[in-house]
Chain A
Amino acid sequence: MGTEFKGITASDGLFMGQVRKLSFALKTRVPTGDLAQEREALETALAQSITELGALMGRVEGEAADILGFQVAMLEDEALAAPAMTAISQGIAADAAWSQAMAAEIAGYESSEDDYFRARAADLKDMRDRVLRHLSGDNHSGAAVGLVLVGDDLPPTAFLETDWSKGGAIALIKGSTTSHVAMLARARGVPMIVGLGDESIFSASALIVDGSRGLVIADPDETAQSAFTRDHAELAARHGIERTFLFEPARRKDGGVIDILINVAGVEELDAIDPRSCDGIGLMRSEFLFRDGAPLPDEEQQYRAYRRFLEWAGAKPVTIRTLDIGGDKPIAGLTPSGESNPFLGLRGVRLTLAREDVFRTQLRALARAAVHGTLKVMIPMVTVPEELSRSAQLLQSCVAELRAEGAPCALPPLGIMVEVPAVAVAPDLFREAAFFSIGSNDLTQYVTASSRDDARVAALNDAGHPAVTRLIVAVAQYGRDNDIPVSLCGDMASDTRHLKTLLDCGLTSLSVAPSRLGRIKAALAEI
């Protein structure tokens, strides 16, 4: 077989390739022993790093370009390498001198009490490693084609400078499914598995990365390789079939039409998706504009981002969820620290109502964006009706304020996520909601009292539990009887195994991962 490692799938897909170790790839460098040559070696490595980053900057925009711009500015500043140059003149080898100088610089950032500055330490480590790589003569840039990148974690720059056109995959010992890199991987369809935990994977020379099973197989033998070849061919054939469904309306076998919308986060995801392939955006996760360690986006930045989603969708509806942080999504300076049970703590609307300044900024940006398409606004983690009415009042007051300022704006319909069991059990308390969107991930987690990110209780965390489906049936029924549209936007909707159940529950609108559009439509045609 080969050795199997179990992880968490951050991006689906199947790939087999040679391993490229990240940050372990440093070749041993032999110092020249000559002061002038060591100095020149460091200068050359710095210049090569700057050129490399500069080339990369031309291919990206937005936040990725900001990260690169900062790194270039730092590397261009002679003050950064000055301590290293001094050390070299005292006889220390270029690579050791650079490492020491950067260690001091990194320590300065890591010791900061400010989260924003502390987060920059990762950029400095990225710069340190890039220069060290050039010092050791390993100009791997551009060479990483059709490889499996293996490491503890992956900096965004390493993802951006990899040529994924010939395929490739990512296998990480640590990492996270919500990181910037995970988002980029999903958008580009690069298979990625995180949380592998076991460092012995570093000694493998070839890997199979299987996103559908959350599995990595190290040094596969012939049996595993032929299984891969077969699976890969099947997958390609299935993708071929699914593609034929992509631009068709979603229909059941009996011809009944189902609305299939998509879940998105970053604006960069939109480039890879054709708006004709779906019925709109069922969930835009606005928290991805709020990155941990970055400044909070202001009203203008948010307005521009929301507007892009609406313009992309044309006349189709776009549901933007207000800031849903806390729980497993901390944002420094906003979310509380030291909560004993963050999933039951100050998250979603609980947090935004406690931080009215942040909430109002977002609601103003949304009301302004609303004139550019069919916007719906959705409140996460609602538990009691007062949370909905207070949010509605705030939204109305923001609209009144904007009108008084003469700014173009509109009042979008306000709906809620149904993810706290209290709401699913008593939907009649929320008849003021313009729509319900069932968040099956959190609903399942709360109904089954099992964490979705703990592998030991993963079997309990089952969206197919009858208790969960009974709640979905009840919410769908209440919505039909009272003319409140109901849809479902959790992972359950993207999973073909649950599709029939959801239709049987009475749902006619589902929001799925963009990569699943074809598969879900193909499966619907069989039901």
Chain B
Amino acid sequence: MSDWISGSVVIAHDVGLHARPSVKLTKVAKGFSSVLEIAGNADGPWIDAKSIVKVMAMKAKQHSTLHVRASGADAPAAVEAITSLVARDFDEAGHGN
């Protein structure tokens, strides 16, 4: 687990990582084989981005920074997918679903 790819993004969503955004985030995360973790601080604690129980327990708020890191074959794509999902505000504005 030494080679981490990392990134960060500011949460724009009204209430932060709430139920519906968390469901989306963990679904996207599970699409990657890499170990994928998120944290509220750059130095952790890091939690499993594929576990909605743990993601919800973070209670990440609006305007807070979400740190993302991944390790594995598809690590760069995984970090990109998570940061862009959060940056797009979980596709909740202006889309049909």
Interface residues of A (CB under 8 A from B): 66, 69-70, 73-74, 77-80, 105, 108, 112, 114, 116-117, 120, 123, 295-296, 298-301, 333
Contacts and interface: CB of A to CB of B under 8 A. Distances in A.
Contact of B53 (A79, A112, A116, A299): A79
A333 B14 CA distance: 11
A255 to B, nearest CB: 47
Interface in B53-94: 53-54, 56-57, 59, 61, 92-94
B23 interface: yes
Contacts of A116: 15-16, 18
Given A114-B61, A295-B13, A298-B93, A105 B20 contact: no
A77 B53 contact: yes
Contacts of A74: 52-53, 56
A117 B59 contact: yes
A120 B54 contact: no
Could you say which interface size class chain B belongs to?
Answer: 20 to 34
B68 to A, nearest CB: 19
Contact of B23 (A70, A78, A79, A80): A70
A425 B93 CA distance: 43
Contacts of B20: 66, 69-70, 295
B56 A296 contact: no
16 contacts: A66-B19, A69-B20, A70-B19, A73-B22, A73-B27, A74-B52, A74-B56, A77-B26, A77-B52, A80-B53, A105-B53, A112-B59, A114-B59, A116-B16, A117-B18, A295-B20
A257 to B, nearest CB: 40
A296 B13 CA distance: 10
B62 to A, nearest CB: 10
If over half of A's interface residues share one DSSP class (helix, strand or loop), that class is named, otherwise mixed; here it is: helix
Interface in B21-69: 22-23, 26-27, 48, 51-54, 56-57, 59, 61
Contact of B51 (A77, A120, A295, A296): A77
Interface of B: 13-16, 18-20, 22-23, 26-27, 48, 51-54, 56-57, 59, 61, 92-95
B10 to A, nearest CB: 17
Contacts of B54: 79
B93 A295 contact: no
A363 B81 CA distance: 34
**Of B19, B22, B54, which is in contact with the most chain A CB atoms at under 10 Å from its CB?**
B19
A296 B62 CA distance: 13
Nearest to B17: A117
B61 to A, nearest CB: 7
Contacts of B59: 112, 114, 117
B86 to A, nearest CB: 15
B93 A300 contact: yes
Contact of B19 (A120, A298, A300, A333): A120
A428 to B, nearest CB: 41
Nearest to B57: A108
A527 B57 CA distance: 61
A298 B15 CA distance: 12
Contacts of B23: 69-70, 73
A80 B51 CA distance: 9
Nearest to B96: A304
**Of B52, B54, B95, which is in contact with the most chain A CB atoms at under 10 Å from its CB?**
B52
A295 B48 CA distance: 24
Contacts of A77: 26, 51-53
What 5 pairs between A and B have smallest CB-CB spacing?
Answer: A79-B53, A70-B19, A116-B15, A295-B14, A79-B51
B25 to A, nearest CB: 10
A212 B77 CA distance: 61
Contacts of B94: 300
B45 to A, nearest CB: 14
Given A73-B26, A300-B93, A79 B48 contact: yes
Nearest to B95: A300
B56 to A, nearest CB: 7
A299 B53 CA distance: 30
B38 to A, nearest CB: 14
A295 B53 contact: no
Contacts of B19: 66, 70, 120, 123
Given A77-B51, A79-B48, A295 B15 contact: yes
B54 to A, nearest CB: 6
Contacts of A70: 19-20, 22-23, 52
A171 B18 CA distance: 32
Given A114-B15, A295-B14, A333-B15, 18 more contacts: A70-B19, A79-B48, A79-B53, A105-B53, A108-B57, A114-B16, A114-B59, A116-B16, A116-B18, A117-B56, A120-B56, A123-B19, A295-B15, A295-B18, A295-B20, A298-B14, A300-B94, A300-B95
B67 to A, nearest CB: 20
A350 B53 CA distance: 39
A46 B53 CA distance: 15
A298 B61 contact: no
Contacts of A299: 93
A120 B18 CA distance: 9
Contacts of A69: 20, 23
A329 B87 CA distance: 33
Contacts of A79: 48, 51, 53-54
A450 to B, nearest CB: 37
A66 B57 CA distance: 18
Contacts of B22: 70, 73
A63 B95 CA distance: 16
**Of B16, B51, B54, which is in contact with the most chain A CB atoms at under 10 Å from its CB?**
B51
